[in-house]
Amino acid sequence: MIEAVRLRKHYGRTKAVDDLSFTVRPGRVTGFLGPNGAGKSTTMRMILGLDTPTGGDVKIDGKHYTEFKEPLRKVGALLDAKWVHPNRSARAHLKWLAVSNKIPASRVAEVLEIVGLSEVAHKNAGGFSLGMSQRLGIAGALLGDPEVLLFDEPVNGLDPEGIVWIRQFMHRLAGEGRTVFVSSHLLSEMAQTAQDLIVIGKGQLISQTTTEQFISDATKDHVRVRSPHAVKLREILAADATITEDAVDGALVVHGIPAEQIGEIAAEHQIVLHELSPQRGSLEEAFMQLTKESVEYHAH
Amino acid sequence: MTLLAVERIKLFSTRSPYWCSALALVLGVGLTAIIAASTDDGQLSIGVTQFGSSQLALSVVLVMAALAVTTEYRFSTIRATFLAVPNRTSALVAKTVVVAFIAGVLGEIIAFGSWGVAKLLSPASDLAINTGGEWRHVAGIGLLYGIGAVLAIAVGILVRQTAGAVAILLVWNMLLEGLIGIIPKVGTKIQAWLPFQNANNFLALPAGSDPGEGMAAGIDFKLSQWGSLAYFAGIAVALLVVALIVAKRRDA
Ligand SMILES: Nc1ncnc2c1ncn2[C@@H]1O[C@H](COP(=O)(O)OP(=O)(O)O)[C@@H](O)[C@H]1O
Ligand SMILES: [Mg+2]
């Protein structure tokens, strides 16, 4: 279990993480979702004792990461697949990690087998593709057979097969009762991977729920309405609905009143409609909407 | 012991320490060989055999030691290290011990290698190591390298970038300390308290006993020769302590 309490990290004037509290439970894959620059990586570095929080606290099973004597046996992490010396072989990389935490040398061959890198274990990591580097990073995380696993954007730059492989892998780890905490800036990805979601924007918590709950909240039905008398219609509907405007074509987006009823209301007031279409909200749209105020910058 | 093993594996699983060691060996022993070959047989003295090892090769060893830590920062393996060993001080001290030990052994190899080459190329010269001063002059090279490595690692931890750390070490060792001697009146007085000048003073052969000895000339050292070594070591350790405190406080 990972517990963050009022965690803060400021870099000069940038509030990378701002009063963030959350809990990550064992036995489940917990997604850490937020747009680029939301503070996910910073939070993970603080969990692992690499960065010191400006304020607040984060503990793993009641202890700071730095308090574990052989931390790799408790927590496995893949923050960046490139944290490997390019002129060191994959096997040598895992070997020094194993020795440092008194993990038996036989485990190196085991994890290489698990991630499918046995064949290239003698090769220098600098020549690895991104996918292979990610696998090596995962091998490193698994080395100590840890109860808690952290992955920062593990599917970035992977091909579809690699993505499916990692996803199934994380489910298996959680199925074995481990705590799996995985970050991503893509809701569609998280929707397929995570059972729980911690959503952040601009360093602040937006929501912590199950993925199912989050999606059903985020994708509530709405109705698109276009009308030459949009202003008048909006005034009438506003009493019973939440109304926004489509940024592209200016259509009204009505939440809370079904399409049939909107049609009847319009007829009653003799308002001409050019479009009346019930919509099922898309996940990404909802996510964008939710984090819009907190988007640091948009990925292109 | 575990951490020493870790650092040993890390160091020897990349190529740069091998290259640096080979380069130091070639430069140190090579220079002696050139000097010996161009000096009339019988004219060589012990003081001349360590020109290469105490100057040129020392610089290479400083670079090797600095690289041992700056490459960790460059490739962020320092983060992997701190994840595996959250006690940063232990991890960095272990690295320092391993690198300093290797530098020391390398120093002895280069020093006695140089001496051996001189003896081979100039068999008529009196190169017998008899006095304590002569032993110190040759065998002391290893101590010098070991302490130099500690200092270089400290600089590496503080600066974190290879180019910066190497520039600082080379300019300091090869240029700055020598140039300070040019300052009228106070120059040589300051030099008496500079670390690498004291390192040279430690090596120096007793005046008059060896006309070939030209190192550390004109400086009135206030410390005994072993005192100079202790002073050099003290500065290296003090710098390392500062570096360790900084590394502990700073975000990895
Ligand atoms: N070492 C640092 N120094 C200064 N600013 C940083 C540093 N690390 C992250 N930031 C800033 O903190 C914010 C959060 O970054 P990050 O945690 O990397 O977000 P995410 O992983 O969610 O994309 C960004 O604005 C980023 O520019
Ligand atoms: Mg990130």
In this predicted structure, the answer to whether residue B85 has a pLDDT above a threshold of 90 is yes
Nearest CA in chain A to B70: A85
On average, the pLDDT of chain A sits at 90
CATH 3.40.50.300 in chain A, residue ranges: 2-210
Residue-wise DSSP of A248-295: TT--EEEESS-HHHHHHHHHHTT---SEEEEEPPPHHHHHHHHHGGG-
Distances (CA, A) of B2 to A75, A99, B42, B100: 20, 7, 51, 17
Encoded tokens for A14: 């940038």
In the reported structure, the alpha carbon of residue A51 is separated from the centroid of ligand 1 by a whole-number distance in angstroms of 12
How far separated are the first and last CA of chain B, in Å rounded? 24
CB of A11 within 6 A of ligand 1: the answer is yes
Rounded Cα–Cα distance for residues A232 and A221 (Å): 23
Write the residue with the smallest CA distance to atom 17 of ligand 1: A39
Phi first, then psi: give them for residue A59, nearest 5 degrees: -130, 155
pLDDT for the residue B180: 87
> What ipTM does the predicted assembly reach?
0.88
Encoded tokens for A28: 């489940």
Any CB–CB contact under 8 A between B209 and chain A?
A: no
Distance from CA of A238 to the nearest CA of B (A): 51
CATH topology of domain A2-210: Rossmann fold (3.40.50)
CATH 3.30.70 in chain A, residue ranges: 220-279
Average pLDDT over residues A42-61: 96
In this predicted structure, the answer to whether residue B82 has a pLDDT above a threshold of 70 is yes
Residue A260 DSSP one-character state: H
Residues of A in contact with B5 (CB under 8 A): 99
Q: Which of A151, A281, A267 is nearest to A220 (CA)?
A: A281
pLDDT for the residue A300: 41
Q: Which of A20, A115, A10, A106 is nearest to A53 (CA)?
A: A10
pLDDT for the residue B44: 85
Residues of B in contact with A48 (CB under 8 A): 83
A220-279 to CATH, choices 3.30.9, 1.10.3470, 3.30.70, 2.60.120: 3.30.70
DSSP run (H or E) holding A193: helix A187-193
Contact A99 B13 (CB under 8 A): no
